[in-house]
Every structure is written in structure tokens, then in C-alpha cells.
Amino acid sequence: MNLMGKSVFGGIAIGKMSVYHKKDSLVKRTKITDTQAEIERFKQARDKAKEQLAGLYAKAVKEVGELNAAIFEVHQMMLDDLDYEESITNIIETQNVNAEFAVANTGDNFAQMFAAMDNDYMKERSADVKDISNRVISILSGAQHGGISGDEPVILLADDLAPSETVQLDKSMILSFVTKFGSTNSHTAILARTMNIPALIGVDITEDMDGKMGIVDGFAGKLIVDPTEEELAKYRAKKNEEDDKKRLLQELKGKENVTLDGRKINLYANIGGVGDVAAVLANDAGGIGLFRSEFLYLESDDYPTEDAQFTAYKTVAENMAGKKVIIRTLDIGADKQVDYFNMDKEENPAMGYRAIRICLDRKEIFKTQLRAIYRASYYGTISIMFPMIISLSEVKQIKEIIAEVKKELTEEGIPFQDCEIGIMIETPAAVMISDILAKEVDFFSIGTNDLTQYTLAIDRQNPKLDSIYDSHHEAILRMLQMVVDNGHKGGAWVGICGELGADTTLTETFLRMGFDELSVSPSMILKVRDVIRNTRLD
């Protein structure tokens, strides 16, 4: 069976399909007769959950340090709690119900109990007991935590995936993303490009595809369900060809990003977390041009502490061994929602309370992040950039808060280094006053995704508008040139960190415009380098 969709990243994926199940899906109550067998089923699922958590702890220690990994040890201990186990087994025995229902019931009861306590530490355990219960329920229902079943990488099928869901997926277990909804500019699409895996949207997926063999053709925008042997042979050959092309690109490692006539440009990578640094190094990026720090908030159940953020930033800075790391400060709001921020529902969130507007309003959250970044700056070469800027007054407020943070750290005897300060140019307002802003900062980085959205008055998350969402629009290209010219006149270097930076049909145009830097998905570094090295500008 062939199903058509829209491709958001090319490539071929062959493997079993797994339907993603939301963690908070409704658990059905089912009557059972053999209570002892059901209790044993629960215990086996609990033991498997503990094994998973032990593996996650070991992985997290390597990626984010022992401090941030400790939560997985806490979850293992909670699974061993005698009261928790007795509550589940008692519900199974007295009510003759399935283990999934007993675990869900107990999880809800314990979560409410913790939430009602006066002690802040115990209150925080409310979210933890929900999480371990969801993990056990996922195993009982035949799916791993986060919706991936089995022990082999899969083609992940879903209605859609929110940023908070994609950030928690085990990326090593995903061959491809296929979603029913979403747009070519959604965060799932951006993640697929970061991971260098094929992805489709707009595919009419169904529950009965779970566990079946599938082929994703990211070039043709096609999902093949239950392929024939002939189709498998054809696509395996095609995949081998693509793998050969990737191997040829590896020969560009260590080479300069310089045109045939000597024009050089910096080529950096965009990342969403500490775990992406391996891909940055593997693809030979010159630095990190965009560290999306909001993913530290999206993957947390509460505001990440200063120490937790410091550890993440320090780890990235150390791993990059002196290469530039540009950290974008918290950029939530719009399609990136975080429950514990308790933000009001907005009619037009893309133009609402988001990014720097939240940070300047909730200064303690902002200062916590800036303290963590400046502490980490001592261990590498860190620059900071601020999103969603529309005015000079915002930049001046930011600089005042930075001065406060540096004064506090100095008084506390905490070492740090000065950081380059930059802003994202992603609003038409910032473009139009870029001549003024350039005198206040060290660099500009253009966020072409939002700049296109705001300039063309097109919601980039709306799939119905994909056909007219045009990053090549003359208005956008004129704005890019204006920003480069104004930036250079004011003494600021200028880069692109939006998805447009990886559009190789525009690489020569960007070089002619005078851009100093392009920051792209790690998987695109060598492809862009190849184009640069085969371009002549004179």
C-alpha cells in the first residue's frame, strides 16, 4: 500500500513502523480473573522500567553530568517504594482489574498526595510519580516510554509531535518521522533535518500500521506499507546509493569553507541540546551558531536550576574545545509551550507573550539563565544572543541586566569571561532599525523562519499555507541584504541561523550579499561546504 504525503527532508528509511502513543492517553479499566498473573505482569513491567532508567542514567551522565542524571536514580528508587507497590497489587486483587488501570490509579493518588504537601521537595515528587507510572503503563501496553516499541530503530508514526515530546524521544531509535498533521516548518521537521533522517507530513496513518514493515521515500513524499520483496530490493539499492554519496561528502572534513576565488565564510551548526554536540563534531562544524536553550526548559517538569543549566552549557563549551558556542536565551511561547510557566491562552501566540518579552518581564528566570551562561563562559568560547528583538530599549534593558549579573558573580568570586553579545533579527522592526541596533551589539543572527512568517503575514505552522510560505520572496532577500549592510556599517558581523541558511540554492547569493556566517543543521554542514568550495564569485 502506497500513501502519499509531503516531504520535509529527503532520504530513504526501511524498517518496522511504530505508532506514537501520547504518554497521558486514557487507560481503560478491564475486568480480569487471574489476579496473581496480573500482579506478576505488573512486576515484570516495573523491573523492565528500572532497567530502562538505569540505561537512561548512564546515558545522561555522559551527556549532561551526574547532577542532571540524578533524576533517573530517584525514579528507580520510587519504583521500589513498598507503599507504591502495595497500592497497585491491592487494587488488582480487590477490584479484579488490569495492571494498567491499577498503576494509573495509584499514580494519580500518589501524585495528588505529594502535590498537597507543604514541603517543596515532596511537592516536586508529584510529577515524578506520574512519570514512573506512565513508563510502567507504556511497557504494559506494549510500547516503550515515549511511544517507541521494541528494541530496534523504527519509523515513527504520529498525528503530530510537540517540541516537548520530540525532545524526550530516544533519537537513536528513530529511522524516520511520518506525521498526519504538521507543516514543513514545524519543529518535528526541523528535528528531522537536524538528525539527517527522512520525514513526511500529511500522511493518512492508522493504528493498524503499528509493527508492520514500511519504507519512507523522502524524495517522492511516499510511505510504502507492507512492501513487496521487489520493492524492498529496489529501495535497499537506492538507500545504498545515498549512503555512498554521504561517504563522499566525508572527504570534505577538515577542508576550509572557501570559494574557488578565495572568499571565506564561517559554517556553524544549530543544536537543541547537549546530545547534539556529537553530530556537530562528526560533521566538522566550525562552531555552534545556535544552541536552542529552550529545550532545557521543554524537557524539564519545573524551571531548570542555575546549576543544571550551567552543567549543560559548560559541557557543550568544553566539548567544543574553544570553538564558538552561541547560546540563544530562552525562546518559548507560540508553538513552544511549557506548562509550569502558567501562561495565559492567547488568540495569536506567535505575536504574543514569548521569548525576550517573557525574560524581561520575569527577570529572575532571565537572570538565572544569564548567571549559568556566564559561569559556563569560563570553560570555553561562549557568545549570547537574544530572540524576538523589536526595539533599542529592549537591548539596553538586556545590557543592564547583564551588568547586574556580572557584578554579582564578581562579588561572589565566581570566574567568568566576557561574552560577545548579539541579537536575532527575526522581526521586520529589527530589520528596519538594524543600523541603530548594530552599534549596540557584536553580531546579528537572522532567524529566517520567523522573519518570513512576520514579513509575509503567514503562520508557518499552518500546513494550508505551505504553498505560499516563500523564504525566497524578494521582500525577504532585500531585508537580508539590508541587515548585512547595516550590520557591517555599525561594526557587527552578520550570520543566518534560520532554516534558509541550509538552502544550497541560495548559498552563492548569501556569499555575494556578504554574510560572515551560516549556521545550519549538523547534517547539512558538508553539503553546504561542498557548494561553497565549488562556487566562483568573480
Catalytic residues: 187, 497
Closest among 384, 326, 315 to 356, alpha carbons compared: 384
* Residue 467 DSSP symbol: G
DSSP state string for 101-156: HHHHHHHHHHHHHHHT-S-HHHHHHHHHHHHHHHHHHHHHTT--TTS--SSS-EEE
Closest among 9, 19, 20 to 214, alpha carbons compared: 19
Torsion over CA of 84, 90, 95 and 98, rounded to 10 degrees?
Answer: 50
The tally of CA atoms less than 13 A away on the side-chain side of residue 419 is 33
- Contact status, residue 425 vs residue 444, Cβ threshold 8 Å: yes
Cell numbers 532577500 correspond to 477
φ, ψ at 101 (rounded to 5°): -65, -40
How many beta carbons lie within 10 A of that of residue 454, not counting itself?
A: 21
- Structure-block grid coordinates of residue 507: 548559498
* Residue 466 DSSP symbol: G
How far, in Å, are 24, 76, 82, 168, 205 from residue 164 at the CA level? 13, 23, 31, 7, 22
Residues in CB range of 447: below 8 A, 6 or more apart: 387, 424, 425, 426, 497, 498
- Contact status, residue 329 vs residue 445, Cβ threshold 8 Å: no
Cα 159 to the chain's mean position, in Å?
18
Closest among 10, 11, 313 to 184, alpha carbons compared: 10
How far apart (Å, rounded) are the C-alpha atoms in residues 260 and 279? 27
How far apart (Å, rounded) are the C-alpha atoms in residues 263 and 277? 27
Cα 509 to the chain's mean position, in Å?
29
Closest among 323, 324, 343, 325 to 273, alpha carbons compared: 325
- Contact status, residue 49 vs residue 103, Cβ threshold 8 Å: no
How far apart (Å, rounded) are the C-alpha atoms in residues 228 and 314? 50
SS3 324: strand
Closest among 483, 328, 485, 497 to 421, alpha carbons compared: 328
DSSP state string for 174-192: EEEEEESS--TTSHHHHHH
How far apart (Å, rounded) are the C-alpha atoms in residues 453 and 457? 6
